[in-house]
Every structure is written in structure tokens, then in C-alpha cells.
Amino acid sequence: MTPPPETGQTKRDRRDEAREKARVAREAATRRRRRNKSLLISGIIVGALALVTAVTLIIVSSVQPAGPGPKNMASGGILLQGSASTSKITAVETKAVPAGGSTTPTDQKKLDKTVNISVYLDYQCPYCNQFETTNEAQISTWLKKGAITYEIHPISILDASSLGTKYSTRSANAAMCVANYDPDSFLAVNTSFFANQPAEGSKGLTDEKLKSLITAAGATSPDISSCIDDGTFKGFVADQTKAALNEKLPNSSLAKLTGTPTVIVNGQAYSGSLTDAAAFSSFVTSQATS
């Protein structure tokens, strides 16, 4: 066997060389650990930023823009009044609330010659239907005599009850289209919507059916159809619903809306039977004389 060639290194040289190699290896390992740590932190930061971006996009996409509102609903509701001399029911005309703008509550102090009734309703709500169908005749009579004002606030708290079609929002938007383009027909349309109210848990009426009911009720503006198709006031419906559920109701002592219908007469909430016209008439009379 031929021996390996002689390197000429001493024992000390070999020891020092081994130590140097060990040092180099340790430094390389340290650099790798630092690099891996840096990559891990960068990955966490990028992931966190991606998560924040995704959450932000979800939140932004889920928020409906506020407004614009329809004309003749500056308070969030349409104010109807009547004339004893003509027996005609008309809407009080107001400018539209601009996109992102605030509503202006009706100044009932200026309406001291009438009893002032406000109602918050959802066209999918069966209890609203009970109140409206029970009292619509006498409300209309009071209006024609000039004895009351009637302010209707359509909102949408029952969208989940129409199998994904959001009937509450669609019908409220349709009513607001009428308020904007043919306001004097609003009460007749309101009555028709309740007379043809779909059952909870159904898909609700189609937009085409809503249009036919509006036309049959006497609203003739050709702009109503496209307003319904475009969902022009859906953002305003959402905005007014949110406000009613979270803020003090104007011209009342109610801290917020807790259900529909909410009926307010000269600032006092009606808590009587929804299906007893005499009970409601008595309450209105008591507020007129108080």
C-alpha cells in the first residue's frame, strides 16, 4: 500500500485549520438563520397586509352608499296633507337629499292646526298591513278634511324574509320612485302595496308587478319604471333604515325604532290594537285635545 503524500502540516496547523473551518461554518449558519428569520417576518407582514386588504374590500363592498334621496322626502318620509275645501290629498314638496347628505325632520310646531301622524313601515311586514288596511279609510277621510297630516317612512327590516330577492328594499325603493316622480299618487300606491302584500317567506312581488300596481293606482310618470329598474333609491332606503334603528325618531320620545309599524301621533307612540279602527281613532282624538 502506498502511503498518502506528506502535507507538511504540523499538529498545531491542523488544529488551527479545523478551528477556522468551524468558525466559517458557524458564521454561515448564523447568516442562514438571520436570512430565514427575515424571510419569515417579511412573509408575515405581507400576509397581514393581504388580510387587511381583503377585510377592507369585504367591508367596503358590503356598505351601501348613502343617498341620493328622492324629492319630496327631505325628512326621510313623505308628508301628506289635505284640503277641506277641495278634499284633495297632496304631498308636501321638498328638495331631494343629496348623496351623503342628512335628512331634515318635519317641523311639526308649524303644523299646529292638524293632528300629525307619522308611521314607519315595511311593505313586507304583516303587522303594518293590519294597521294600514284597518285604518286607511279613516286616515284618508281625515286627510281630505284637512284634520291631519300623515308622514310615511318606508324602511326595510325584513329583506331576509323574501328568499334573497330583498323585497322590502325593492318595494321601498319603488315607493320612493313614486314620491320622486308622482308624489300625489303616493297614498294610493301605499294602499295598493298592502292590498297585494306577498307572504313572508315568499320571493315577494317582482319589479314588473310593482310597476303594474303603481300604474293601476294612478301614477303615470314614465320615469318611475327606470327608477325601479335602476334601484335608484336603494342606498337611501338602507340609510334611512339604519338611522331609524339606531337614532332617536324625530318628533317623538322614542330612542330608536324597535319594530314596525311604529305609529306616532303628535309625538306619542300608539301602542293599541292594530286591527281596531275605533281604538286608533280614540287615540288620535285624545292627542288632538291634549
* Mean pLDDT score of the chain: 87
Per-residue pLDDT of 28-65, as tens digits, reads 666 677 666 655 555 544 444 343 333 333 333 334 45
Angle, helices 207-216 vs 167-181, to 10°: value is: 40
163-210 pLDDT, tens digit per residue, is 999 999 999 999 999 999 999 999 999 999 999 999 999 999 999 999
Domain boundaries, the chain: 12-59, 78-289
Q: Which helix (H) or strand (E) holds 12?
A: helix 11-62
As a whole number of angstroms, the distance between CA 129 and CA 287 comes to 23
Q: If pLDDT is split at 50, 70 and 90, which confidence band does 289 have?
A: confident
DSSP of 135-178: HHHHHHHHHHTT-EEEEEEE--S-GGGSTTS-HHHHHHHHHHHH
* Residue 13 pLDDT grade (very low, low, confident, very high; cuts 50, 70, 90): low
Residues paired with 262 in a beta bridge: 120
pLDDT range class, residue 115, cuts 50, 70, 90: very high
Closest CA to 95 of 79, 74, 68: 74
Q: What's the pLDDT score for residue 28? A: 64
Residues 130-157: b if buried by 16+ CB within 10 A, e if exposed: bbbbbbbeebbebbbebebbbbbbbbbb
- Going 163 to 256 to 103 to 217, the CA torsion angle's sign is positive
Is-contact 159 127, C-beta < 8 A? no
Q: Give yes or no for a contact between 72 and 236, defined as CB atoms under 8 angstroms apart.
A: no
pLDDT of 3 reads 32
Burial per residue of 65-83, b for 16 or more beta-carbon CB atoms within 10 angstroms, e otherwise: ebbbbbbbbbbbbbbbbbe
Nearest to 171 by CA among 142, 202, 148: 202
User: Residue 158 — left, alpha, or beta (φ > 0 → left; ψ -120 to 50 → alpha)?
Assistant: alpha
- At the topology level, CATH places domain 78-289 in Glutaredoxin (3.40.30)
What is the pLDDT averaged over residues 235-255?
97
